[in-house]
Structure 1
Amino acid sequence: MDTRPAHDGHPYEEDRSPGHGTLPARVWYAASDAARLSLNGTWAFRLSDTAEGTGTAFTEDTADLSDWARVRVPGHWVLQGHGAPAYTNIVYPIPVDPPRVPTENPTGDHRLDFDLPGDWPQDGETLLRFEGVDSCARVWLNGHELGWFTGSRLPHEFAVGHLLRPRGNVLAVRVHQWSAGSYLEDQDMWWLPGIFRDVTLLHRPDGAPCDFFVHAGYDHLTGRGTLRVACDVAGRILVPELGLDVRVGEETSAPVEPWSAESPRLYHGELITAGERVPLRIGFRTVRVENGVFTANGRRILFRGVNRHEFHPETGRAVDLETMRRDVLLMKRHNINAVRTSHYPPHPAFLDLCDELGLWVIDEADLETHGFCYFPDWRGNPVADERWTPALIDRARRMVERDKNHPSVVIWSLGNECGAGQGLSAMAAWIRERDPSRPLHYENDYSYRDSDFYSRMYAPHDEVEAIGRGEEQPLEDPEADARRRSLPLLLVEYAHAMGNGPGGLADYQRLFETYERCQGGFVWEWIDHGLPKRTADGRPYYAYGGDFGEDVHDGNFVCDGLLFPDRSPSPGLIEYKKVIEPVRITGDSAAGTITVTNRHDFSALDHLSFTWAFEVEGEETATGTLAVPSLDPGTSAVVPLPDPPHARAGEAVWTIRAGLRADTPWAPRGHLVAWAQLPARPRPLPERPAVLLPPLAEAGNIHLGPAVFHATTGELRSLNGLDLRQGPRLDVWRAPTDNDLGGPWLGDARLAMRWRKLGLHRLQHRVDSISTADRALTVRTRVAPAATDLGLYAAYHWSADDERLLLTVTVTPDGEWPVPLPRLGLLLGLPASCDHATWYGGGPGEAYPDTRAASRLGRYSMNVDDMQTPYVRPQENGARPDVRWAELCAAGGPGLRVTAGDAPFWFTARRWSDVQLDAARHTTDLEPGDTVWVHLDRSVQGIGTESCGPGPLPQYRLTVAPTTFSLVLTAPGAN
């Protein structure tokens, strides 16, 4: 007989309450001397189409499981061959009729048969703990129903000691993909049901604590820490390093080193009670918002943060400890100091790592109701419906009680994108009463009545600057306006890292460092959520929304991270590391000095060593060390450079590096923290040939020095024996980036749509004249899209000596152009054998006008294939800036060298055309052809972050204007 609890006439999975039969929320800790038994492993599994399943006989000892499948726990059944994942950003993939869910409700019955260890204690109590189940679970042990719960990314416990037996225990769990709780979990991610976090049996001896709260504050004026541990049973607190031995509940004080993200000092202590000894890791720190600024230990903090969803490409949100540690190490090594746990509390072990290695954490409740935004006044929104308030408070309580002893957690967040409502206020009131030591955050209620921060998402630069100046647009309510003006600004999401980008990071950072009220932000987001798939012929690629047959989905919007799905850094992460580096190095080469500024919040510079290198034409000629004083945070020093070493002629730069002086827990000695380059000698411009050769017409061709041109079209056909697939001609198109495509809410204003409407992807070229005079070949053309009278006049002026071909291109706009151009330069095609590139210019990775902070002048060499950035959805990529010269060669064969004339150029080379790149949905759609396509651009359009934010700033837009640029084409190795 089905004994499901029923409320309001609905089955339990449609109940608005948080659950039934679970124990009160309490603290989490990784270890103690009490017994514990992991129930992770391989479980029996059966998938049904509806919540009714096939009855509850599977909970009985004698159930026949012979035809059941097996799944890993922790895990998601849709990633183990049962059903399929689905991705939506905002919309619910089920009809919005809270708290009801469809009858077609994939339901996974899980069963584990297990024995207790022979030494399992018989006294006290035993708890069955689930760290996370998506989205609703009903639990039986040995045929007895324990209860049910929602709150997917939160812990739930049952008392089971009276039901356990030494052998043959049967744990049965029914998991529904859809439940009333799903309406609270619309969090811009894959919908992935299952038991995806740990399942554990915890012995609770008589006299063991149920819960305890470590209060460890720090007074920056006295340098003393204050410790008090509240506990529900009597006991003692030992902290040997501090010589402390005090009773539970007793407050004591001692001189301490404070905890911060830069210096994560933890004191190892122990809570000793009659039944259990619990190790403690105590970090003394005090955080507050005072005088409109968020401070830690008395200092203003600048967040250099990221938003982090839990994700692994193979296991979804079932993330193992090694992967969590890898995430934290990558963050630390890229100068990131803060993480927002978007949009739910992470696995608790992640917070242990943040405590240990040092990250500021905004811990966010498991709450988002974004899909209700499509209805007038957010009709039906649970946070504005008091019937949901118990579930909301339960989610706040389970987060706070679990994570309250982590020093890394400095801010509680009520959730994400839920509009406004009294349910949020109820959550805030409960948290403030339980833990007044931490500020609260919430972004989506613009009265900020429940938030200690003026929190914004994707605010454009000018708005951030206005807020920094205190000149933001006032609210109608003077009292609310005054309150908001008293709050620090936090960009809880900014710089949408989707595809190629994000652009404008350096401009945001300048504002954060200029205005005290602007306390940084959190890039969206940490990692691309691509799931692995294979083509019919077995080639691997990463899939996104729509690739699993979803009717409703949001495409590749799930791939918007600073890491690719395999956790390799994207160019965006390399850029972010440079932009947020905690040491600023500027210089005056004429004066022979550099200025070093310490941008750390707490640390002096003793942990860094500084070196210099003198580089000529990209080659290091001399190196040495710099004596930089131990600067306090916020201070600067002028440091002399050595006399420039004697070196060969050519352009020269100083490269200054700051690296770790010694090994740290997060990076080895020598790890690069910050760097800068300063000009030492300017680039000499190419010399004009003393003797120019005349063009000669012969058999339908025009010969000019080492080059052969088509007599009718004026197209360059060969140079120094290298036959070109396509001669250089004006090009303005690029395969749109995700930021060019823009958010769908922008409609026809999206830049890529405007480009396509104008026809920039299908330019036509007309030759107006070909003339040979004054020892030169001049080809005049008009380049224009169909169906418009707009165009670009392009004149190619060629001259040559015996080895070199000189080209000057003059571009004159025809008409009033309403949009910036994607690029402006030359496109040419080389044989596929010319696949090895060497260049002197910016690198090693790609860069664009507003993503070039991390580009370093040097000499680089790599295969054309390695110059591509493998964005999950293919798009424009791979440009190298500030290129003085570039060579493309075949192994042992001919090639081409291009040298900049009056100004450096942007260099891109790939094995497929922009048309192919534009048409591709996945990397496997890109098939190499018989041509290496080379872009030599005078200018390119910036990137911006308009996939979910502002577009490129005006200074990074490629406005149509008269332009002239020049290049020199020779054989490889020539000057």
Structure 2
Amino acid sequence: MDVAPAPGTLPYYEDVSPGTGALPPRAWWSVSDARRLNLGGAWRFRLSATAEAEDASFARPGFDASHWDVLPVPSHWPLQGYGRPAYTNVRYPFPVDPPHVPTENPTGDHLRAFDLPDDWPGGAAVLRFEGVDSCARVWLNGEELGTFKGSRLPVEFEVGERLRPRGNVLAVRVHQWSSGSYLEDQDMWWLPGIFREVTLIERPEGAVCDVFVHCGYDHATGLGTLRVDCTPGGTLTVPELGLDIPTGAPVIVPVEPWSAELPRLYDAELATEGERVPLRIGFRTVAVEDGVLKVNGRRILFRGVNRHEFDPDHGRVPDQETMRRDLLLMKQHNVNAVRTSHYPPHPAFLDLCDELGLWVVDECDLETHGFEEVGWRGNPVDDERWTPALLDRAARMVERDKNHPSVVMWSLGNECGTGSGLSAMAAWIRRRDPARPIHYEGDLSCRDVDVYSRMYADHAECELIGRREEPPQADPEADARRRNMPFLLCEYAHAMGNGPGGLSEYQRIFETYERCQGGFVWEWIDHGLRHRTADGTAYFAYGGDFGEELHDGNFVCDGLLFPDRTPSPGLLEFKKVVQPVRIEGDAERGLVTVTNLHDVADLSGLAFGWVREEEGVRTDHGRFEVPALGPGESARLELPLMPREVTAGAEAWWTVRAVLAEDTAWAPAGHEVAWAQFAARKRQGGRVRRGAPHPARRAEGGVVVLGPGTFDAASGRLKYLGGSLVSGPELDVWRAPIDNDRGMDWYPQGQLEPKWRALGLHRMRRRVVRVSVGGDVLTVATRIAPAASDLGLRVLHSWTAAGDRLTLQVRVEPEGDWTLPLPRLGLRMGVCPTLDRVRWYGGGPGEAYPDTRAASRIGRYEAGVEELQTPYVRPQENGARADVRWAELRRTDGSGLRVDGAPPFWLTARPWTTEALDAAAHTHELTRGDMLWLHLDHALHGVGSHACGPEVLPEFRLTAAPAAFGFTFTVLRPAPEESL
């Protein structure tokens, strides 16, 4: 019978305790010789609007649920058509009234009938839930097992005596809101449900109750220490080490250590009287020594990412294949570390980290960020009534994950303010596992931690911290303690939309200062949920797309991967910036310097080659023999001699690459790990073409004809080029604002979009000052300026023509006191939309901006216009190619337009206008127009990471200043398409 709580008491889902009935937490292992029964699959499901709408009769034997719906488990019910997802970053989507939750509390009743296999041995068994959001009450065959909270942590119940051979019924009531929700205010979708596996596990007499593998490595002697504690006792065998020892007995043996770069594991087996459990053991020691975090005696540098578990169709229900795919992508893009933001991941993910090699900061399922909105009043981490729940969460994380060598640090949680509850968690963890340092970012006193961690500290502050010269704290003792700690950025380089910028400058700091040990980009993947329009067009939805009362828009889309796991330009930039080999060229002296930036590995696993190109065309290639340099070591290599037969005036480049010499577990041989490019010979001038100058002449119809160009005589605008209709080119300063232009209020000077709009840069007006025809030159003087302002830009266009070419020289002079940077400075031009193949010589293959151009290399490239678009979940400025010398736009018959720039320019080609891009909220709202729009930019403003981080660095701000640049336009006649 379901009994209502007594007056004055709270229902279990509002009680601050962690729950009732559960077994003590223990280590996780994926397989053993004990039987397991997966209870996932089709469950009967009923959704109620409140926690008390239905009684508990559904859990009684014989209850008829045949009329209920069917729901897959694991899953989130809002993604199965029951209710709707909701996204908030900081704010709780319910009143802050702890521990109470709204009466409107979606509650899902789940039923699963199952039979035991015929050979199920009987006896003790446990029912294990890997993850249920946010509170559950469980019955088996009508008997209540207990209740639990802690959504992303496991819980087990003893059920052996309650099992039947046939007709078992498991009933689970899940509440979306509970007191536990106050502890789970992570920046993510609110998605209730049984979202991880449910498993029945046999527990034979004498089975393993728990196991703790203690491993260490002495880098001075090469010896490993091993002790395996087990309840009950048993034996441990490690065949490769010749070990067959009792549990609890310490041994010291020569071993190869485990690291993220060389993830050496030893297969072992733990045997007790009732169970055999395979183990994979990695020997490594983590320590903070002399203010530096070291593993196996070596300083490590985190080239890390924050990773939420996410799938665009299933939410926090990634399968094994998706988890492995994530890790392969990380390794292939030089990521070496993961912070499990902001909860322990699926336990199988850590097995993969052990196997493939990543440093892991394992974070507890704890965040109370929404209390910041009320001045941290009532914050559970500073209220002793909540401490048992905090300790329960810490224990369930540590006990589950303690045997993973990849876990090198425990994190208490995220954005919880400060309080005694965090101190209690830290003290418990130190007693249970003193071999790992403790992390927490939110307390500048660093009283409970072993590392100094910050979020989004800008470059200048990081430099001060690196020199241990950061501003002092009021407490001298706490200040001295913090200054002696290693420093890491647990979140930096916010990867929302176009960006993040400034990665190279951060990496220089990490590599310069021993104390600065890297960081974790926020974050790994955009959390866009796949959605469809009425006509079936797919797009990715974000906050507000599901009618949320409160939401934080597309702030949930801030990853290095798009929701479908396609790498973004930001990931490619990150890969280049953090590459573990530095390659520096000196063409004048004919030398290349190679430096090993790995923490542990030498360079024996890499092969090095070089390519020489002229004007983007390969002229020679070969290999380098590079010694097996150890970490930090360098070698100088000689470049081959340049040939005497070179093209006069041609631009030549060297590209040096480091690739995998052999297949690895994460990439095949030939996979590129690092590269560098440097000029062998600078281009002396632009492309030289013959042809007599054409005079400019006025013609009937109010036009001026100049070579292949026809201009409006009154406005000076180019109307036709080679007989084809064009629009422009005209000076343009506006871009569809990127997420980083919107900025955050803790860096108000960087909030550029509202300032740009207030100034009117998105609505500039053009005034024709004069149009003059003189000899071979058409001169057009204009002034562009926004309404209600005396600021302006004077622009002088000087047009000439020779042969089949039309050349434009542009001079720009700002007028007035420009205090804001410009979004861009260049020409916008509309051309025929059938010119949909683009071939260019310059930077590529992907997009680049002034502070995100490390991954752009000079070459010849070709792509369709659609391929040049970067599909950010919220449309914004994208797709620029850097350092373009020339570009050709062609139709299928080979006809088209060529643009040469002097100096090199930024090229962007779009099938829609900037205005359409600016207005669109989702990708499906962008449709092709009746022109193809070219942006031929002399300069661009940087992108930064100001959506949640520093503004654009000063060297990448586009200040309004005098500028001069030019372009030559050539009409291309039909011809067979050239190959690259």
Is the TM value for this pair above 0.5?
yes
What CA distance in whole angstroms lies between the structure 1 residues aligned with 2:8 and 2:154? 26
- Name 1:180's counterpart in structure 2: 179
Counterpart of 2:662, as a letter, is A
Cα distance 1:6–1:505, how it changes in 2: closer, same or farther (>3 A)? farther
- What amino acid is aligned across from residue 813 of structure 2 in structure 1? T
Match of 1:231 in 2: 230
Q: How does 1:558-957 map to 2 (within 5 A)?
A: 558-645=556-643, 646-649=645-648, 650-686=650-686, 687=688, 691-699=692-700, 700-724=702-726, 726-743=727-744, 750-892=751-893, 894-901=895-902, 903-957=903-957
Structure 1 range deviating more: 61-70 or 424-433: 61-70
Distance 1:180 1:409 in 2: 29
Q: Residue 69 in 1 paired to residue 69 in 2?
A: yes
How far did residue 813 of structure 1 move?
A: 0.4
The question of 1:36 aligning with 2:36 is answered yes
* Residue deviations 1:898-936 (CA, integer Å, cap 9, x gap): 1012x1000000011111000000001111110101000
- Residue 536 of structure 1 corresponds to 534
Q: How does 1:262-277 map to 2 (within 5 A)?
A: 262-277=261-276
Residue matched to 2:353: 354
Instruction: Tell me the CA shift for residue 8 of structure 1.
Output: 5.9
Residues 135 and 176, structure 2, Cα contact 8 Å, conserved in 1? yes
Q: In 2, Cα distance between the equivalents of 1:453 and 1:464?
A: 14
Residue segments in structure 2 that go unaligned for 5+ positions in a row: none
Say whether 1:333 aligns with 2:328: no
Aligned partner of residue 14 in structure 1, secondary structure: coil
Deviation at 1:721, TM superposition (A): 2.6
Aligned letter for 2:709? Answer: A
The CA distance in 2 between the partners of 1:425 and 1:229, in whole Å, is 28
Answer yes or no: is the 8 Å Cα contact 1:721–1:894 preserved in 2.
no
Residue equivalent to 1:303: 302
2:162 matched to which residue of 1? 163
- 1:234-285 CA-partner distances (Å, limit 9, x unpaired): 2111101001111110000100000000000000011111111111100000
Distance 2:609 2:690 in 1: 41
User: Could you tell me which residue of structure 2 aligns to residue 150 of structure 1?
Assistant: 149
What's the CA shift string for 1:14-63, capped at 9, x where partnerless? 01000000011111001111111111111110000000132111112221
Q: Normalised by the size of structure 1, how large is the TM-score? A: 0.98
Residue in structure 2 matching 1:517, options 506, 512, 515: 515
Instruction: Tell whether the 8 Å contact from 2:747 to 2:951 is kept in structure 1 after alignment.
Output: no
| Partners of 2:334 and 2:580 within 8 A in 1 | yes
Please give the alpha-carbon distance, in whole angstroms, between the structure 2 residues aligned to 1:9 and 1:597.
66
Q: Name the CA shift for 1:308/1:680 in 2 (closer, same or farther; >3 Å).
A: same
Query: 2:226 & 2:907 partners in 1: Cα distance?
Result: 59
TM superposition shift of 1:569 = 0.2
Q: Distance in 1 between matches of 2:521 and 2:746?
A: 21
Cα distance in 1 for residues equivalent to 2:724 and 2:308: 51
2:220 counterpart residue number? 221
Task: Give aligned-pair identity as a percent.
Answer: 65
Question: Deviation at 1:968?
Answer: 1.1
Cross-structure match for 1:141: 140
1:373 is matched with: 372
Q: How far is 1:856 from its partner?
A: 1.0
- How has the CA–CA distance of structure 1 residues 717 and 917 changed in structure 2, closer, same or farther, with 3 Å as cutoff? same
CA contact (8 A) 1:7 1:15 kept: no
Contact 1:706-1:801 at 8 Å conserved across structures: no
Q: Go from structure 1 to structure 2 and tell me whether the alpha carbon gap of 1:617 and 1:4 turns closer, same or farther (over 3 Å shift).
A: farther
Counterpart residue identity of residue 622, structure 2: G
Distance between the aligned counterparts of 1:63 and 1:311, measured in 2? 35
Q: Any residues of structure 2 matched to 1:203-602 within 5 Å, and which? A: 203-376=202-375, 378-602=376-600
Q: Which moved more, 1:167-176 or 1:627-636?
A: 627-636
Residue aligned with 2:663, SS: coil
Note the C-alpha offset of 1:727: 1.7
Equivalence for 2:55: 55
Task: Give the Cα separation in 2 of the matches to 1:176 and 1:636.
Answer: 59
Is the contact made by 1:4 and 1:12 (CA closer than 8 Å) also made in structure 2?
no
Q: 1:106 aligns to what?
A: 106
SS of 1:11's equivalent in the other structure is: coil
What residue identity is the alignment partner of 2:619? T
Question: Per-residue deviation at 1:651?
Answer: 1.2
Post-superposition CA distance 1:447-501 (Å, at most 9, x none): 1101111101000000000110111001111111101101111100000000000
Counterparts of 1:520 and 1:460 in 2: how far apart (Å)?
13
Quote the Cα distance in structure 2 between the aligned partners of 1:803 and 1:7: 91
CA separation of 1:203/1:6 partners in 2, compared to 1, >3 Å: closer, same or farther?
farther
The separation in 1 between residues aligned to 2:324 and 2:380, in whole angstroms, is: 36
Tell me how large the CA RMSD over aligned residues is: 1.3
Is the alpha carbon distance of 1:9 and 1:748 closer, same or farther for their aligned partners in structure 2, counting shifts above 3 Å? farther
The alpha-carbon deviation at position 966 of structure 1 amounts to 1.2
Shift of 1:318: 1.0
Cα distance, 1:965 vs structure 2: 0.6
CA distance in 1, matches of 2:626, 2:710: 57
Aligned amino acid, residue 403 of structure 1: D
Give the match's secondary structure for 2:160.
Answer: coil
Q: Is the 8 A contact 1:912 1:928 kept in 2?
A: yes
C-alpha contact 1:722 1:894 (8 A) present in aligned 2:
no
Ranges in structure 1 where 5+ consecutive residues have no aligned partner: none
**C-alpha separation in 2, matches of 1:806 and 1:675:** 36
Determine the C-alpha separation between the residues in 2 that align with 1:328 and 1:53.
43
Q: Is the 8 A contact 2:840 2:860 kept in 1?
A: yes
Asked whether the equivalents of residues 696 and 775 of structure 2 are also in contact (C-alpha less than 8 Å), the reply is no
SS of aligned partner of 2:13: helix
Shift of 1:692: 2.5
* Higher mean displacement: 415-424 or 673-682: 673-682
- Amino acid in structure 1 at the alignment position of 2:710: V
Output the CA distance in 1 between the equivalents of 2:493 and 2:28.
Answer: 34
2:247, 2:7 → 1: CA distance? 42
Distance in 2 of aligned mates of 1:878 and 1:53: 53
Cα distance 1:683–1:4, how it changes in 2: closer, same or farther (>3 A)? farther
Deviation digits for residues 512-569 of structure 1 (CA, Å, limit 9, x no counterpart):
0000000000000000000011112221100000000101000000000000000010
Shift of 1:580: 0.4
Q: Which residue of structure 1 aligns with residue 18 of structure 2? A: 18
TM-score (norm 2): 0.98
> Higher mean Cα deviation, 172-181 or 745-754?
745-754
Amino acid at match of 2:852: T
For residue 613 of structure 1, give the secondary structure of its aligned residue in structure 2.
Answer: strand
Mapped partners of 1:5, 1:292: distance in 2: 53
CA–CA separation in structure 2 for the residues paired with 1:4 and 1:460: 54
